[in-house]
Structure 1
Amino acid sequence: MRGMENPLPQHPLWADALARAGLRSGWRDGVLVQRRGPLAAAIRAPARDAGWWRRHGPLLVEPEGDGAPLRAAGYGQVMTGATLALLALGPPGDALPRASGKWRNRAVAGARAAPAPQVAPLPPDPGHWLLRQEAAQRRARRYRGLPHALILALAAGPAPPLLFRLGGRAPLAGMLFLRHGDAATYLLGWCGAAGRAVSGHHVLLAAAARHFAAEGATHLDLGTIDTGRAPGLARFKLGAGAAPRRLGGSWLRLRP
C-alpha cells in the first residue's frame, strides 16, 4: 500500500501546533523542518533528489522512503527505519475490510457489552482525564509517546483532535485521532481494566474507522509497530488489517 501523501509531521496543522507550543519550525521548499534537540530535522520527509538535499537539507532527516538520495548528498544512516502501521479504510459499512476474524469478533462482542462510543473534539485542557490517565499509563508501562504539550497545541488549533471514548462519568477507554488531508493519525490512547474487559480499543478503533471513512478519509496512520518490545500492540494493529511499511531510518549530514 502506498504511503500517505502528506503525513502529519509534514502537514500545516503540525507546523501550526509546533509554533503554538513555542517550538521552532519552517518550510524549506515544501518540506517542514523542525528543531529536534540541538538539530534541525525533517521528519517523515517526502522524496527529494540528492541535489535538493545538498541545497536545502537539514542536519537530520527521517525520510518516508528510500535513503539513497540522502547517501548521495553526503548523509550517513545512523538508525534503521521503524515500521509503520497503515490501515486502509473501506466504505463506512465495512470500514475495516482487512481485519482478521478474531479481531472483528472481539470488536463486535465488545460493542454489544459496552456503552455506545462517543466522539467529540479534545478541549485544550491540561487536566483532561485522558491526558491524566495516559500519563499514568506511560509511567507504569515505561514508554514514550507524543508530548502532551503538542497534543494541547493541536487541541487549541482550528481542527482539534477527535476523542473517541467509552463510558460516561467514569471513562472506560479513549483513543485520540487527528484528521489531516485524506488520512487520520492516531495520537494516543488509554484503556482501563473495565475497558479491557469489553475490548474497549477494538470497539473504539472500529468506531473511528467508520467515522473517518464516512468523512472520506482513505486510511489511518496507527503509528509504529514493534513486535519485540510491544507484541500485543503490534498484534492489535495488524489484526485490524494494518499493513506494515518500513520507514527510511535516520540520516545525519556527514559532509557539507
Structure 2
Amino acid sequence: MRCSWTLCDTPRLPEGAGLPMQQHPSYGRACGSLGAEAFRLEWREGRRTLGTAQVLARHLPLVGRVALLSRGPVWMPDIATERSEAAMAELLSALGRRHRAILVTPETADGGPFSRGGMIPAMTAAHVARLALAPELTALRARLTPGWRNALTQAERMGLRVTETGLPDDPGHWLLRAEAAQAQARRYARLPPAFALAWARNGGTLLLSVEGACGPVAGILILIHPPWATYHLAWTSPAGRRLNAHTLLLWRAIERLKEMGIEALELGLIDTERTEGIARFKLGTGAAACPLGATWLRAPGTGWVARLARLVHRASVTQQAARTLRG
C-alpha cells in the first residue's frame, strides 16, 4: 500500500508521539534564520496523522542540494513496522528526486530500511539521556542516584537565589558568552549562540541561574518543544561547583517543566568514553539511555558501495557456515 507525503506549514503531531527538538517547527525556523531551508511533510490517512518529517536542506559547493532528516520521521506510536518502512522508502524516494545527497539519523536503531535502500552508514549510533517527567516529583526525587540526591540536598540548604526567565534577545548575554568561552577551552562542538537566540525568537526557552555576591555563578538554558524539552547549554563557575549550583538548577528546571505539562526532558548525548563524568551526571537524574539510529547517507555511488558491502557480508557468512560444517 503506497502512502503519500505532502508538504504542510504546520503538521499535526501523531497522537501520543514524542517530539525531539530536531523535529519541532521552532528548530526549523531557527535553522532557517541561520541559512538552511526547512520544510515539513506529513503522512495522513483520513483524519489520522501517521507520520511527520521536518527536513533541512542546503546547497553545498561541488555537491549540490543536500537534505538532512534528523531524529525523524515522528511516527504514530505502535505503527506496524512494515508500514513505517514502506512510508520511509516513499519519503526517501521523494527526497531523492530533489536532492543530490540525503542524510538521515532516525530515532530507531533499526537500520534495516536504510541498508536495503542503497544507503551507507556515515556515523555510528549513539544514545541520548531522556528523563520522563510523568511521575510525581516525590517519585522523581526517589529515582535520583544517592550522590545526585545528596548534592541537591546540600545545595538546597545553602539558600541559593535562583532566577528564572526566558532567554532575552541579547547576543552579549552573560550565559552565552560564558558557555562560548567554556566550549573553546574544552574544545567541544555545539550549536552556535546564534541558534539559541533564533530559537528564543520563535519558541519557548527556560533560563535559570544562581546569583552570587559578584554576579552569576551558574546558569542553564532549556529549549521547550512540547510535549518535550531539551537541556541545551549550561555553565558553572568554580564557586558554583562548590555549591552544587548546577544540580540545583537542573532540579528546579524539572519542577518548572512538570508545571508546564512537559512530558520528557532530553539531557543530550551520552559519551561514557570522553565525558564519563557528564554522562554519569545526566543518568544520575534517573534518565534512561535511549538508543538512536546511525546516520545514513545516500549520494551518487553509495548505492554501489552498499550493494558491495552486502555481497561481502554474505560471502563472509557463507564461509563461516562452511567452516562450521567442516568442523
TM-score, normalised by the number of residues in structure 2: 0.72
Q: Map of 1:116-127 to 2, 5 A cutoff?
A: 116-127=161-172
1:32 is aligned, of 44, 49, 54, to 54
Contact 1:4 1:183 in 2 (8 A): no
Instruction: Tell me which amino acid in the other structure corresponds to 1:255.
Output: G
TM-superposed deviation, 1:23: 2.2
For 2:113, the equivalent position in structure 1 comes to 69
CA distances 1:216-249 after superposition (whole Å, capped 9, x unpaired) = 1121100101011101100100111111011101
TM-superposed deviation, 1:62: 0.5
Instruction: Tell me which amino acid in the other structure corresponds to 1:214.
Output: E
Q: SS where residue 226 of structure 1 aligns?
A: coil
Q: SS where residue 216 of structure 1 aligns?
A: coil
For 2:94, the equivalent position in structure 1 comes to 56
For 2:32, the equivalent position in structure 1 comes to 19
Q: CA RMSD in A?
A: 2.1
Q: Structure with the greater relative contact order (CA < 8 A, sep ≥ 6): 1 or 2?
A: 1
Alignment partners' CA distance in 2, 1:243 and 1:12: 25
Q: Map of 1:65-214 to 2, 5 A cutoff?
A: 65=108, 66-89=110-133, 90-157=135-202, 159-167=203-211, 170-214=215-259
Q: SS where residue 28 of structure 1 aligns?
A: strand
Instruction: Tell me which amino acid in the other structure corresponds to 1:200.
Output: A
Cα 1:96–1:77 change in 2 (3 A) is farther
2:270 is aligned, of 218, 225, 236, to 225
Task: Name the stretch that deviates more: 61-70 or 43-52.
Answer: 43-52
Alignment partners' CA distance in 2, 1:126 and 1:96: 35
CA distances 1:185-233 after superposition (whole Å, capped 9, x unpaired) = 1110100111101111110111000111122112110010101110110
Alignment partners' CA distance in 2, 1:139 and 1:4: 36
For 1:5, the equivalent position in structure 2 comes to 18
Task: Name the stretch that deviates more: 44-53 or 191-200.
Answer: 44-53
Cα 1:37–1:79 change in 2 (3 A) is farther
Structure 1: 5+ residue runs without aligned partners? none
Structure 2: 5+ residue runs without aligned partners? 1-15, 43-51, 61-65, 76-83, 97-101, 305-327
Alignment partners' CA distance in 1, 2:222 and 2:34: 19
Instruction: Tell me which amino acid in the other structure corresponds to 1:41.
Output: L
CA distances 1:64-95 after superposition (whole Å, capped 9, x unpaired) = 00221122222111211111000112324554
TM-superposed deviation, 1:37: 7.7
Residue 241, structure 1, aligned to residue 289, structure 2 = no
Contact 1:110 1:203 in 2 (8 A): yes
Alignment partners' CA distance in 2, 1:138 and 1:224: 16
1:255 is aligned, of 303, 309, 315, to 303
**Greater Rg by CA:** 2
Q: SS where residue 213 of structure 1 aligns?
A: helix
Contact 1:94 1:210 in 2 (8 A): no
